[in-house]
Amino acid sequence: PLTVKWVFKVKKNEDGNLDKFKARLVVRGFEQQFGFDYNQTFASVAKAATWRILLTVAACLDWEIEQMDVSTAFLEGDLDEQVFIEMPEGLVEYFDQHPEDRPAGFSTEKICKLIKSLYGLKQAPRQWQKKLKKTLESLDFRQATSDTAVYHNPTTGVIIITYVDDFLIMGSNKEAIQGYKARLGEIFTMTDLGPASHFLG
């Protein structure tokens, strides 16, 4: 099994005060073996030329440009390969304190089989992108052939530019944009950043 570690972070808000404590379980992906517990890893991001052109068009046509961020994108992807990890530190203690959550047959001697991606897995970005593509296609978006990180809905004219977990959603149909934002927020854990002010690309 792959080994894992907890990464702890203190997040502060804009004025420097404590916002929240974060804990993330991370797989030591450098232990993975190609062809065994991972295969493809490539995940595209929007090309700078693409989003610059689209932002220019949006500005000239006075389109709405909204922004959203997926909070835990790399945890959303479904795995194609079988990946096993060691028992995470603290899990046994948790089940001791919450026996109602303990799965049948649970043993400290066992390892864990991952069903979804975790941070640190080599294939996590690709699996997230596959899940996102499937989700957007279910909302009648089409992936651009010239830039696979861009999606267009031919019915509403709405365009979504993706850069890993950062989305720009643009078009002339404000109602459709708000509808897509609401729907995506139901599917993924997302932060609605409102009108776009910056973009990671």
SS3 letters across 4-56 = EEEEEEEEECCCCCEEEEEEEEEECHHHCCECCCECCCCCCCCCHHHHHHHHH
| Residue 200 confidence (pLDDT) | 66
Residue 189 has pLDDT above 90, yes or no: yes
**Residue among 143, 139, 158, 131 nearest 72 (CA):** 131
Q: What is the mean pLDDT of residues 48-74?
A: 95
Overall pTM > 0.75: yes
Query: Torsions phi, psi of 184, nearest 5?
Result: -65, -35
Could you give the C-alpha distances from 88 to 43, 119, 121, 167, 187, in angstroms and in order? 28, 14, 15, 32, 27
| Residue 105 confidence (pLDDT) | 83
Residue type, 118: L
Residue type, 55: L
**Residue among 192, 184, 159, 195 nearest 46 (CA):** 159
| 197 against 146, higher pLDDT | 146
- Give Cβ neighbours of residue 171 (< 8 Å, ≥ 6 apart): 63, 64, 156, 157, 158, 159, 177
pLDDT class of 201 with cuts at 50, 70, 90: low
Q: What is the mean pLDDT of residues 150-177?
A: 96
Record the tokens describing residue 154, joined without a space: 């031919």
Between CA 74 and CA 120 the distance in angstroms is: 9
Question: What are 67-119's pLDDT values in tens digits?
Answer: 999 989 999 999 999 999 999 999 989 999 999 999 888 888 889 999 999 99
Count the helices and strands in the chain (H runs, E runs): 4, 10
pLDDT class of 187 with cuts at 50, 70, 90: very high
Q: Over the chain, what is the mean pLDDT?
A: 93
